[in-house]
Structure 1
Amino acid sequence: MKKDASQLIAILKSQFDDASFYTEPSDCWAYGYDNSRRHALPDAVVFASNHEDVVKLVKLCAQHSIPLIARGRGTNTTGAAIPINGGIVLSLERMQKIIEIDPQNRFMVVEPGVLNQNAQEAAQKMGLFWAPDPTSAPYSSIGGNIACGAAGPRSVKYGTTKDNVLGLTAVTGTGHTIHTGVYTTKGSVGYDLTRLMIGSEGTLGIVTSAILKLLPIPETKRTLRAFFSSMPSALSAVIKVMQQPIIPCGVEFMDGNAIRMVRNFSHPELPEKAQSMLIIEVDGSHSIIDHDLQAIVRAIQHPDLLEVNIARSEKEATELWKIRKSLSASLRSLSPHKINEDIIVPVSKVSEILEFTEVLSKQYEIQVVNFGHAGNGNIHVNFLVDPFDPIKGPQAKECLHQLFDKVLSLKGSLSGEHGVGIEKRDYIGKEINSDTLCLMKNIKAQFDPQNILNPGKIFPE
């Protein structure tokens, strides 16, 4: 039920001071979008400063049947933070406290508005780190990372957010506070509600604090970059790297289209014959790092290997990474409204799925650029097309249908780290059968009986 402006302002004034919420459309506008480039104007924006603020707001929204959409910094690419049904956007950006760091027991307790990079910097002072490292780390929040199950390059060795959060405090759709998980790295009492909450995109509850598992910073790290004259040869090298006993802490891939784009945009020195590129990192102790690096070098040997660059310092490593990190800017400059998917398949099937994207590209005359975390089969497939174009838009949608069908036929999944939001909700039935979806909806109803928490996300309409 939608409230008119005067009713909504009166409701908020009853519990919050004027500095804690916006109702003017011009003020609310920026909180109606995320990195999906979609937009819907919220009726109001409320800024929580603590757990109690969240409880108050959830109870108000439940009482008045107002949709409530929790928001971090809007870096999500699937529209998960878009208020498609109006209502109130709950911004958690003011909840930036690092509540506790325990270096002896290797955990950190943070509020959801803490930026990933700020958490990393605080842990680093103790000789520790939190494993999830999405590209958006400097400006994405821990709460947002938890909401979509973020990962990043390090996940190939250290796991995703689900593997690195020990426990949560959250507010359900009824306004009740729940505590999940433990402070220890082991615990088997009751259901694992922590993992259930992670990746639920704010549809089950609103996280107000998280217990993060920290790991010791390795003594050293080495980075290499390799160019290949064919895509299959690079992907064959990835399989060999992942089969040998030295687990890299990053295995990144770029296809020939991505390399050409970056070459034209900012790096003209890249090899002309390069059709694929790998960036591989290994970390560990000073005494074995050279041995481990050489094991990786041996694993990637192939007749199509054009060149290998090995960084001997942090500065050189940064230079090697510049190519990969400049790709997003290159893509946005060429196609501001591109479709960015993050499918995941078994590592041995990456070559097959990328060959299929080439078939789709030729069939529909849509340029496709592929890159991503090849070490765990998580590839970002970018269709350089405006989804709202009257001709290319429907073609792109048909591309997605075929791509997702192929991914699932290879025992993959529709998303490795971005989540579902609204971009993939109409496809989720391809991966999850009706009985399972029904059970998920019933779980949602237990946490949020009035369906006020981020309605319209994940589940098909």
Structure 2
Amino acid sequence: MTSHELSTRLGTLLRADQISTADEVRAEHGTDKWHASALPDVVVFAESTEDVVAVMKFASENKIPVYTRAAGTGHTGGCVPVHGGILLSVMRMNRILEINPSDGVCVTQPGVITGELQNAVREHGWYYPPDPASLKECSIGGNIATNAGGPRCLKYGVTKQYVLGLTVVLASGEILKTGGRCHKNSTGFDLTSLIVGCEGMLGIVTEITVRLIPHPQTRAMLGASFPDFTAAAAAVQAILDSGTLPSALEITDGFTMAAARDYLGADKLPPGDAYLMIEIDGNVETVARELPALHDFLLEHQALRIDTAPDEPSCERIWQLRRDFSYSLKHTGLTKLNEDIVVPRSKLVDLVNFAQQLQADTGIPVACFGHAGDGNIHTNIMVDNYADPATKKVADAALDRLFTWVIENGGVISGEHGIGLAKKPWIRQALGEVSIQTHLAVKKALDPTNILNPGKFLD
């Protein structure tokens, strides 16, 4: 079916302004923040669950691939329409339907930007904790697709811990309701958790009920530099062993520190080859007591310099430095292959040592920073030109060594970005054959003709 024929037939189901075959619209919706791209035959802008039902019934009858896309901020090519077909955008489904403090829930459509959802519930004194780095531009629907995390998942957990219920349109066009608005539910299989993280391969989420918690009264931070990564990692373990559970624990290696000095200026960063950011939150009295105690504790564990942030503006300055680390790596002019691997926390130093050896063996710089508290260290392979076949071959070989090492050391190849296209070559190694076959059985049960996001890691 040609783009024109597809558009014409969809035009009997939706308004004309919900359908586009314009080259620039198709190109915009054919990619995410990874390097892969492909053109869909048509882009459809859903505005309701009923729109999605109509599209899926049509697609199911005609066996047309459907790729669901929200804000397009993913890092793995998860929404790239590799087989053309229909690119179904849910970004017009961008309303917060209900904020109910009495029930401790918020009901939202998938196109709502995560940061805007957080701000909306904050006005009621409540808190939606998951905080991906891209929260000002990513959508809650995309967070559901990949089970997104963020720095504060150390204390508060990732997206799936906050999803109570979903409205899901299946490949057939049928509507599946999972969970609800109760905070405890042991009724039947946990289909909600099955959908969260499925990367759009099992159904299309059109309504989400998330759990809210009371917002902490205040927060404070410490930014501490260390002589090397080993000392910083030891401090991470010591903090947790002491009985303190920060809301965030972020670590940065020497390569990233050097890039930041080049980008921001040498005087903008403290001395040392590693940096640790610790955020604590809670009631005012507790935070006021914990902050100086944690400061003294870090001095006892080789901290070279500690910057104290007792209030909101100073906390934001430290978080801005964390955001600047990403910009610093981009400033090197190299392409950042951002791998969100996770290792057991005891393997943090081993991971960085391995990364340094990988850099020495391949000549490709490797930068490590991220969520030290849960072992989710973003290991960035920094390549000159990934589009060049020779460079890509060396980089892919380096990725293979990295993922193999991670798996052999009890880790996983994705903590919050998902698999998509980027990690597809390693999925069997990561999951094992029995797990792969179980995935395929679930996929066949819910999408027997494989029209939902085909071409990704289950194909």
Normalization by structure 2: what TM-score?
A: 0.97
**Residues of 2 paired with 1:223 and 1:336: CA distance?**
31
User: Are 1:182 and 2:180 matched, yes or no?
Assistant: yes
SS for the counterpart of 2:183 is coil
Amino acid aligned to 1:447 = L
The separation in 2 between residues aligned to 1:397 and 1:288, in whole angstroms, is 48
Measured in 2, the distance between the counterparts of 1:249 and 1:26 equals 42
1:387 to 2:386 alignment: yes
How big is the shift at 1:433? 1.1
Identify the match of residue 110 of structure 1 among 86, 108, 121.
108
Q: Show the counterpart of 1:227.
A: 225
Name the structure 2 match of 1:399: 398
1:238 aligns with: 236
2:143 partner amino acid:
N
Shift of 1:316: 1.3
| Residue 408 (structure 1) aligns with | 407
Counterpart in 2 of 1:100? 98
- CA-CA distance at 1:24 after TM superposition: 2.2
Distance, in Å, in 2 between the alignment partners of 1:270 and 1:360 is 29
Partner of residue 206 from structure 1, selected from 196, 204, 207: 204
Structure 2 match to 1:347: 345
- Cα contact 1:263–1:270 (8 A) shared by 2: yes
Q: CA deviation at 1:121?
A: 1.1
Quick one: which amino acid aligns to residue 25 of structure 2? D
SS at match of 1:196: helix
2:380 alignment partner, SS class: strand
Check the 8 A contact 2:144/2:196 in 1, yes or no: yes
The residue aligned with 1:450 is 449
- Structure 1 position 428 matched with structure 2 position 424: no
Question: In 2 relative to 1, CA 166–303 (structure 1 residues): closer, same or farther, beyond 3 Å?
Answer: closer
Q: Hey, what's the Cα distance between the residues in 1 that align with 2:125 and 2:265?
A: 35
Q: Is the 8 A contact 1:335 1:384 kept in 2?
A: no
1:169 maps to 2:167? yes
Equivalent residue in structure 2 for 1:192, among 186, 190, 193: 190
Contact preservation (8 Å) 1:230, 1:275? yes
After TM superposition, give the deviation of residue 260 of structure 1 in Å. 1.1
Aligned counterpart, 1:158: 156
Q: Which residue of 2 aligns with 1:256?
A: 254
Cα separation, 2, equivalents of 1:155 and 1:255: 21
**Alpha-carbon distance between aligned partners in 2 of 1:26 and 1:127, rounded to the nearest angstrom:** 42
Q: CA RMSD in A?
A: 1.3
SS in structure 1 at match of 2:155: helix
> CA separation in 1, counterparts of 2:203 and 2:396?
31
Query: Do the aligned partners of 1:338 and 1:387 also contact (CA within 8 Å) in 2?
Result: no
Pair 1:162–1:272, CA change in 2 (3 A): closer
**Shift of residue 286, structure 1, vs aligned partner:** 1.2
Q: SS of the counterpart of 1:269?
A: helix
1:404 CA displacement = 1.1
Counterpart of 1:307 in structure 2 is: 305
| Residue-pair matches, total | 458
State the shift of 1:389 in Å.
2.3
Runs (5+) with no aligned partner, structure 1: none
> 1:9 and 2:14 equivalent?
no
Map 1:66-81 to 2 at 5 A: 66-81=64-79
Counterpart of 1:134 in 2: which secondary structure?
coil
Deviation of 1:359 (Å)? 0.3
Change (3 A) 1:406 1:223: same
Following superposition, the deviation at residue 354 of structure 1 comes to 1.1
Give the match's secondary structure for 2:87: strand
Whether the aligned pair in 1 keeps the contact of 2:110 and 2:141 (CA below 8 Å) is yes
- SS of the counterpart of 1:372? strand
Q: CA deviation at 1:313?
A: 2.0
Q: Aligned equivalents of 2:389 and 2:270: distance in 1?
A: 36
Once the two structures are superposed, residues 44-102 of structure 1 have per-residue CA deviations (whole angstroms, 9 ceiling, x without a partner) of: 00000000000000111111111100001100000001001111110001001111111
Contact 2:225 2:270 survives alignment (8 Å): no
Superposed, 1:255-334 pairs within 5 Å as 255-271=253-269, 273-302=271-300, 304-334=302-332
CA distance in 2, matches of 1:271, 1:338: 22
**CA gap 1:52/1:224 in 2 versus in 1, 3 angstroms:** same
Tell me what 2:55 maps to.
57
- Contact 2:223/2:277 (CA < 8 Å) preserved in 1? yes
Pick which of 328-337 and 126-135 moved more: 328-337
User: Who is 1:149 aligned against?
Assistant: 147
Q: Distance in 2 between the 1:257 and 1:5 partners?
A: 48
**Distance (whole Å) between structure 1 residues aligned to residue 448 and residue 269 of structure 2:** 57
Q: Secondary structure at the match of 1:287?
A: helix
| Runs of 4+ off more than 6 Å | none
Tell me, yes or no, if the aligned pair for 1:413 and 1:431 is still in contact at 8 Å: yes
CA separation in 1, counterparts of 2:3 and 2:94?
Answer: 30
Structure 1 residue 7, shift from structure 2 partner: 1.8
For 1:457 and 1:61, the matched residues in 2 are separated by 18
* Alignment CA distance shift 1:331-1:372 (3 Å): same
Structure 1 residues 248 and 303: alpha-carbon distance in aligned structure 2, compared to 1, 3 A threshold: closer
Query: CA offset at residue 295 of structure 1?
Result: 4.2
Name whichever of 71-80 and 405-414 sits farther off.
405-414
Choose 369-378 or 284-293, whichever is displaced more: 284-293
Flag structure 2 segments of 5+ consecutive residues without an equivalent: none
Partner of 2:126: 128
